[in-house]
Structure 1
Amino acid sequence: MSTMTSFSTLVAVVTGGGSGIGAAITAAFRARGARVGVLDLHPGDPADGLLPVTADVTDRGSLEAATAAVAEAFGGIDILVNSAGIGAVGPVEGNDDAEWHRVLDVNVVGIARATTAALPYLRRSRHGAIVNLSSIAANAGLVQRALYSASKGAVHSLTLAMAADLVGEGIRVNCLAPGTVDTPWVQRLLARTGDPEAERARLAARQPTGRLVTADEVAAAAAYLASPEAGATTGMSLAVDGGMSGLRLPRR
């Protein structure tokens, strides 16, 4: 089964698919032949094989209605990509209780809600797969990222627990751990610094490849994990971080 046709009978749901990494994943899946339901606060415009549905990962009812709409339109759901997420900057004391609850609600509980909504359909699929978006921050101590790191560490652990619970039902669960990805969110962070170009160069330099990860590179990894060709892969975190998690190079 070739890469370009391995998705031709599959239906995917991508939360947060309206922009950034989620939009790149949506495009990659469609290029491989999948029909895709985009669940987002701003899901974009419909197209052939693309169903945008307004949904909020903090609202269980909206997710249930959205997944039902995708399943009805396309005849089921085979793949769920939990890409919706928000960032946070600061040390452990840098965010108040409300912000801690908000970020964890979107980044962690949001995955639980979306998965719960999609599971009835995934259980009917012969190729059920879930891909969660974690981060290098789940395993590496990054400065000024306490809350964000805590949320992504929880995503990693949640992925393992979900994989253990669902492997017996033929549903694979994996996560992606990107490094710093060149997305609109990162661009907004850079714009708030005193010297955006210098900060961008610093972020690029901390990855051994010397550059930021592209959203398309993360999307290609998501396509691998979601594909039936990865049928023996479950309970794994795939790093897409320019070698940041595993390489220790001499200082340039």
Structure 2
Amino acid sequence: MGNRQFAGKRVLVTGAASGIGRRIAERFCETGAEVVGLDRLAGEPGLPFRLVQVNLADVGQVEYVCKGLKAESTRLDILVNAAGVLRTGPAEDLSADDWQACFAVNASGPFYLLQHWIPVFKKQRAGAIVNIASNAAHVPRSGMTAYCASKSAMVSLSHCIGLELAPFGVRCNIVSPGSTDTPMLNSMVGGNDGYRLLVTGLPDQFKLGIPLGKIATVDDIAETTLFLASDLAGHITLQDIVVDGGATLGA
């Protein structure tokens, strides 16, 4: 992909303070885009893009931020919903807060943003949306009920929005990562030893392992996202690309 592939493009990326969202935002900057990141956290100093703090689960905050961004420019070329929350545990042990937190960030947040920017995309009759879901939306995961259900909701939301926007020339696709080297995964599995178990498999959790024999990097996910947002994917919409080294075995 060319070094200036997205020169002059205005890009909005959620979850941009860390992990996958941050790397996606950085890669868009590196390819010439004007990037605005959204995140509940302030982020580290020295990010190459502007980061706006917002709780995406709060519809009022989302409205306030979107109105401010529209006041700066009524154009938006690319929207990437990468923010995510993971709460784990057996279904009977999950609290109402666990359940609601996953849906609020993983499904409702993208919906709130899309409601504000869909009219912009329709008016432009151009643009691309990429939603970051999970391979957990494709296969059941023991101890991940709230996360799986919320990411499945995000996938369905993406397909419906994509169908509505297709007549306007706007594409909407999904990237579904598997286990990826991020602070969230590291803290969940306990570092390199946990990564090795994910690669070889966890039969008690019905995880078969990763055929490619490695954990994904944030660049693996970012490059797929940039491809789907680019003109190279100009006839691709309503698709869900699973980036998990074969862990779902084509499910």
1:37 CA drift (Å): 0.5
1:115 CA drift (Å): 1.1
1:19 and 2:18 aligned: yes
Could you tell me whether the CA contact under 8 Å between 1:79 and 1:122 is conserved in 2? no
Alpha-carbon separation, structure 2, partners of 1:139 and 1:74? 37
Cα pair distance change 1:108/1:15, threshold 3 Å:
same
Q: 1:88-115: CA deviations, max 9, x gaps?
A: 1122223022221121111111110111
SS in 2 for 1:93: helix
**Counterpart pick for 1:222 among 215, 225, 228:** 225
Could you tell me whether the CA contact under 8 Å between 1:70 and 1:76 is conserved in 2? no
Please show how residues 145-160 of structure 1 align to structure 2 within 5 Å: 145-160=144-159
Cα pair distance change 1:52/1:197, threshold 3 Å:
closer
Could you tell me whether the CA contact under 8 Å between 2:171 and 2:236 is conserved in 1? yes
Please show how residues 207-246 of structure 1 align to structure 2 within 5 Å: 207-246=210-249
Could you tell me whether the CA contact under 8 Å between 1:37 and 1:53 is conserved in 2? yes
List alignment gaps of at least 5 residues for structure 1. Answer: none
Q: Which moved more, 1:144-153 or 1:123-132?
A: 123-132
Paired amino acid for 1:144: G
Provide runs of 4+ in structure 1 moved above 6 Å.
Answer: none
SS in 1 for 2:93: coil
Paired amino acid for 2:132: L
List alignment gaps of at least 5 residues for structure 2. Answer: 201-208
Q: 1:24-79: CA deviations, max 9, x gaps?
A: 0001111111110101122435766x222111111223223323433444562111
Structure-1-length-normalised TM-score: 0.88
SS in 2 for 1:141: coil
- When the two chains are superposed, the root-mean-square deviation of aligned CA atoms in Å is 2.0
Equivalent residue for 1:97? Answer: 96
Equivalent residue for 1:109? Answer: 108
Equivalent residue for 1:202? Answer: 197
Alpha-carbon separation, structure 2, partners of 1:9 and 1:21? 23
Equivalent residue for 1:170? Answer: 169
Alpha-carbon separation, structure 2, partners of 1:97 and 1:47? 35
